[in-house]
Amino acid sequence: MEAASKLDVESIRADFPILRRMIGDKPLAYLDSAATSQKPVQVVEAMRRFTDHSNANISRSVHTLGSEATEAYEGARAKVAAFIGAPSPDEVVFTKNSTEAINLLAYAFQNAAFDPSADPRFKLGPGDEIVVTEMEHHANLIPWQQLALRTGATLKWIGVTDHGRLDLGCVPEVITERCKVVSFTAVSNLLGTVNPTSQITARAREVGALVGLDASQSVPHIPVDVTELGVDFIAFTGHKMLGPTGIGVLWAKADLLDAMPPFLTGGSMIKTVTMEKTVFAPAPAKFEAGTPPIAEAVGLAAAVDYLDKLGMENVRNHEKELAGYMLEQLETVDGLEVVGPRVPIGRSATVSFTFEGVHPHDVGQVLDAEGIAVRVGHHCAKPVCDRFGVNATTRASGYVYNTREEIDRLVEALGQVRKVFG
């Protein structure tokens, strides 16, 4: 396809030394980027340069290394903000990962319950409602479950159809005037479904609810502009977008960050402290207590540079082609059933499937023996598995460095699974 030709995949692959690794006597085919993507040399080298030449703590010293570290860290924040179309870098809060970002938000609601002066948008109690969907990763489900338990609010969810799509017809009855916050996944990590946001966001606005996205599987793969999305917050993580582990992002509108009480308290997040009381610093510092992941932020900035150079439209088009080809080829495997949308429309290059009579762990072990890395299990999305009546699935997920030839190897290896298990 013409769109995919805009990515020079062989050139991209040259930037990832791990892709030259052999698993036994088989070349590695890495099809597990939905769990963790690989890092190009540009990211590794950026982190090494920082560590070798500018390693110091930020916002604490006037010496040269401290100034360079602060500049690198805040420069990374600015790059991330530009990458997602945020109006200001001060709306970007660095966290450990998406899970921590969503917990930060959920705890802001919980903490507000004990503060008489808290913004009413964060006040939750009996009679109030929180809405998620049935296709959430646990990171965007359990924090809201816990918040409901602690505040007496009610947790509700938008269901999933047999085709792996959100049941948008039930949105008006699920998101009612009692709803205070709606948080849903932009792209399902198990089903691969790319969810439409406008209908859910519009309904949330009608009832005055805050609305946000778990963008862990969208920011790395799809052009994202938070202003165009019209949401209040998004969460995503560095290690799924060619960056390092240990760093994630919470983006939220400036007025929300100003109104939110902090999640963690301690050093670096204060304006002034006496023995009697503390005045917190403005956002984003208010939410970044202690020494932050400085080298990891540098690595994330390098990952953003890499993706910017590729062009996110090109990334998306390449993955659309991968998704279409993977679905087409998997249909030829006897006994295999895709869990999720079976057409490459409104979906990502993440495809989960079951193999009749063979446990996903056994499938994964045979594939690994053929040099093919996939994920098996419930993918931290157990309710989705329950919805489709399966305990686990095998999941293959593509990214910028994957090729049709690797998908051919996957299909061929699945034939080996059939031979081994009859």
Q: Are 364 and 376 in contact (CB under 8 A)?
A: yes
16, 219 contact by CB (below 8 A): no
Q: How far is Cα 163 from Cα 184, in angstroms, rounded to an integer? A: 18
Query: Are the C-beta atoms of 1 and 319 separated by less than 8 Å?
Result: no
Taken in order 45, 46, 48, 54, the sign of the CA dihedral is: positive
Ramachandran bin of 271, using left for φ above 0, alpha for ψ from -120 to 50, beta for the remaining angles: alpha
Q: Could you please report the per-residue DSSP string of 297-356?
A: HHHHHHHHHHHHHH-HHHHHHHHHHHHHHHHHHHTTSTTEEEES-SSSSSB-SEEEEEET
DSSP-assigned beta bridge partners for residue 355 = 336, 358
Cα distance between residue 12 and residue 414, in whole Å: 27
Whole-number Å distance between alpha carbons of 316 and 218? 10
Judge whether 135 and 381 are in contact, CB under 8 Å: yes
Count of residues in the chain: 422
Closest of 213, 153, 194, 143 to residue 341, by C-alpha: 194
Q: How far apart are CA 421 and CA 279, in angstroms?
A: 64
Quick one: tokens of 160? 């999933």
Which residues lie below 8 Å from residue 381, measured CB to CB, with a gap of 6+? 135, 136, 137, 138, 188, 189, 190
Q: Based on the number of CB atoms within 10 Å of its own CB, is 59 exposed (0-12), middle (13-18) or buried (19 or more)? A: middle
Catalytic hit among 170, 179, 380, 385: 380
Q: Label the pairing between strands 233-237 and 210-214.
A: parallel
Catalytic, 179? Answer no
**Closest to 349 (Cα-Cα) out of 378, 335, 370, 329:** 329
Active site residues: 380
